Amino acid sequence: MRKKIPQSHLLFFLFCSIILMPEIPAAAEFTSDVSVEGRGFFHSPVYPEQRRNNGSLAVNAEFYHEFSSGSSFIVTPFFRLDSADDKRTHADVREANFLYLAESWEMRVGIGKVFWGATEFVHLVDIINQTDLVEALDGEEKLGQPMIHLSIPRDWGTVDGFILPWFRERTYAGKKGRLRFAVPVDTDKAKYESGSEENHLDFALRYSHTLRDMDVGLYHFLGTSRDPVLIPEQNGSGRIILIPYYEQIGQTGLDLQFVAGNWLWKGEAFYRSGMGRSFAATTFGFEYTIVGIAETAMDLGLISEYVFDDRDVGRSPIVYDHDVMLGLRLAVNDADSTELLLGLIRDLKMSSKIITLEASRRMGENVKVNLEGSFFVDISKKDPSYGLAEDDFVKLEVTYYF
Amino acid sequence: MRFFLLFFMCLLFCYPAGCFGESPEEKGLDIALEADLRDAGFMDFTADMLMVLRNKHGRESKREIRIRTFEVENDGDKSLLIFDTPRDVKGTAFLSFSHKVGDDDQWLYLPALKRVKRISSRNKSGSFMGSEFAYEDIASLEVEKYTYTFLREETYEGRDCFVNGSYPVDLKNSGYTRLVSWRDKDEYRLWKVEYYDRKNTHLKTLTFKDYEQYLGKYWRAADMEMVNHQNGKSTKLLWTNYQFKTGLTDRNFDKNSLKRAK
């Protein structure tokens, strides 16, 4: 069994949320969507226990109620069933919180989701929510995080304070799944630096402000690193496995978005101190949009970003340590919202290249079709992403919105 | 008699603000200023908008959008647009601070990622949500964003109208060389706008129908239709549930408000 948020804690949050509610929602809004996905891999798997292809079904639901005061209540459960990987079959409460809206502040209590950051390819400074890595490799899918979040907007900027009482462990593909490390991660054996393990109380304080052309955010986080060190160990049956080890860290992060005409400049950086040597990481770049290419209604965005991560790679290998990313984003601007995104990630130290393609369009009013592909080219044996070398795939996902 | 005529002509040329002495540019600007003045002081309004996109084969596609607008003294308005349909973009919100001078500030909120993205407002000529409306057509019409020339008086659908030419100040980023608009003389309401593209050919025509007056002052059309003459597509905006002076504040238009939008 993977460690989950203890049910008593979830119940406590739900209880808090309900007693804070000024009235019982009479007509909560309910929406949901179901998606069916097929992933086809071009090559046979390298590791014998892996299944070649997989099919999957996912459900998102949302109950939402807004009170006349502007305060609101939301619950959004998520569930995925996967044909190949039992670790990818998982459920989560993405959100279950009550938002209290006062005249000069607001507070969110419960399981919530928060995004910090500016760049398109790598999300370095985003730290409040744990990454649901079995969902997507891009790190954009997140697990719900229990929190008390106070936000105070002022003329001179917004101050956000967070108390994060329970920690969520990162999800990883299981033995049978593809898109995993060469050595599988055993999430059941996760270890913590803190004696209170996942009950460690984490804190974050963030200041953000908009200065006409610039959006800036600065924060400090104190608590359990969302980003585990993976330690190789021999398990009972003598096999080498990776064990996630969650350290206590202090991290200061900065994110910037700056608009200058058709140019959008974006940057993120953090400085982290913890058990190993302290280190910094940064990613920055631009997006330039050409409006109405070739006298059509289509817009073309050119994206270029760079990432540098100074962590001790001997201790915690990472995929993006010194990489450059190039992207092309085509918005067709038709009634079906057709979009295409082509990306290239090139490791500047090794030969490794990752090519990604994403295309999406709506069909009718309620159906969205997504086509995605990832190709791993010349992956170096020394690269931590070597486990992906034979995992070139194409994924088709059809989502129906109720 | 001749003396009298001479005197009268002197009066005509010397009297600076007299309507007879106004140049077409001055008169054009005066019409725009008067229309702006008549719509000033609304403080805020909210409304629901149904956007119907129609292609040249008659196929329709709908978007439901809720709109909140906040009047800012001495600068452009602040607007928040929240999408309800199509379902895959439900909860997406667009926040815009328009400015009398310089580029507007715009942010887009993507609910699946909980992400607020700054977007470039130089995409003026870009299509808004795949419709025949460009961003610059839906942005708040600040007087300072155009220069004007009064063209003529004309009867349009039974109403005496001023026909005014408007020329974008930001010619480099606008998709238009000029706009020609028909406003009635009684209430300064817009009834028709013709858009001329960068090659000065007639690109689109916007027509307004079913005007209603709110709080005894503010006129709003319930039906607006943009027809693109070059691609045969059209977009209709059907407005309902207009409410003025609802008590919105700056806080309803900050980045937190984007994340709260539902």
CA atoms within 13 A on the CB side of A210: 17
Shortest Cα distance, chain A CAs vs residue B215, angstroms: 24
Task: Let me know if residue A2 belongs to a domain.
Answer: no
Q: How many residues does this entry show for chain B?
A: 262
How many CB atoms neighbour CB A322 within 10 A? Answer: 14
Is residue B154 within 8 Å of residue B163, measured between CB atoms? yes
A365, A366, A369, A402: which to substitute to probe chain B, counting the most B Cβ within 10 Å? A365
According to DSSP H, which parts of A21-63 are helical?
none
Q: Distance of CA B251 to CAs A152, A333, B75, B243, B259, Å? A: 11, 31, 17, 18, 12
Q: At A215, list the tokens.
A: 């959006």
> Residue A335: which CATH number?
2.40.160.10
- Write the CB contacts of B6 (distance below 8 Å, at least 6 apart in sequence): none
d(CA A111, CA A93): 7
Q: How many CB atoms lie within 10 A of CB B246?
A: 12
Q: Which residues of A touch B80 (CB under 8 A)?
A: none
Other beta carbons within 10 angstroms of residue A267's beta carbon come to: 22
Q: Is B36 exposed, middle or buried (0-12, 13-18, 19+ CB in 10 A)?
A: middle
Q: Is residue A1 a part of any domain in this protein?
A: no
Q: A162 in a domain, yes or no?
A: yes
Tell me the pLDDT band of B2, cut-offs 50, 70 and 90: low
- CA nearest to A130, candidates A224, A252, A10, A231: A224
Q: According to the CATH classification, is domain B23-260 in 3.30.70.1400?
A: no
Domain count of the fold of chain A: 1
Kindly state whether residue A397 falls inside one of the protein's structural domains.
yes
The Cα–Cα gap between A336 and A365 comes to: 9
Which residues of B are less than 8 Å from A106 in CB distance? 256, 260
Decide if A198 contacts A169 (C-beta within 8 A): yes
Q: What's the rounded Cα separation, in Å, for the pair A128 and A125?
A: 9
pLDDT category, A237, cuts 50, 70, 90? Answer: confident
Q: What is the pLDDT of residue B18?
A: 44
How does residue B6 score in pLDDT terms, banded at 50, 70 and 90? low
User: Amino acid letter at A293?
Assistant: I
Segment B65-78 mean pLDDT: 92
> Any CB–CB contact under 8 A between B198 and chain A?
no
Q: How confident is the model at residue A86 (pLDDT cuts 50, 70, 90)?
A: very high
- What type of residue sits at position B64? E
Alpha helix segments (H runs only) across chain B: 2-14, 24-38, 135-138, 255-260
Span A104-152, pLDDT tens digits: 999 999 999 999 999 999 999 999 999 999 999 888 999 999 999 999 9
Structure tokens at A402: 């109720």
B125/A contact by beta carbon, under 8 A: yes
B260/chain A closest Cα distance in angstroms: 9
Which residues have C-beta within 8 Å of that of residue A11, sequence separation ≥ 6? none
| Tens digits of residue pLDDT in A28-73 | 789 999 999 999 999 999 888 899 999 999 999 999 999 988 899 9
Domain limits at A357? 7-401
Residue A76 has pLDDT above 50, yes or no: yes
Per residue in A218-229, pLDDT (tens digit) is 999 999 999 999
Could you tell me the pLDDT band of residue A20, with boundaries at 50, 70 and 90? low
Report the alpha-carbon distance of residue A111 to residue A152 in Å, rounded: 19
Reported ipTM: the value is 0.89
CB B212 within 8 A of CB B238: no
Let me know if residue A246 belongs to a domain: yes
Q: B209-241 pLDDT, tens per residue? A: 999 999 999 999 999 999 999 999 999 999 999
Structure tokens at A62: 């949302």
Burial group, residue A86, by CB count within 10 angstroms (0-12, 13-18, 19+): exposed
- The pLDDT tens digits for A329-388 are 999 988 899 999 999 999 998 889 999 999 999 998 899 999 999 999 988 888 878 888
How are the residues of chain A apportioned to helix, strand and coil, as percentages rounded to the nearest 5? Answer: 5, 50, 40
Domain-by-domain residue ranges, chain B? 23-260
Instruction: Among A291, A303, A365, A397, pick the best mutation site for testing chain B contact (most B Cβ within 10 A).
Output: A291
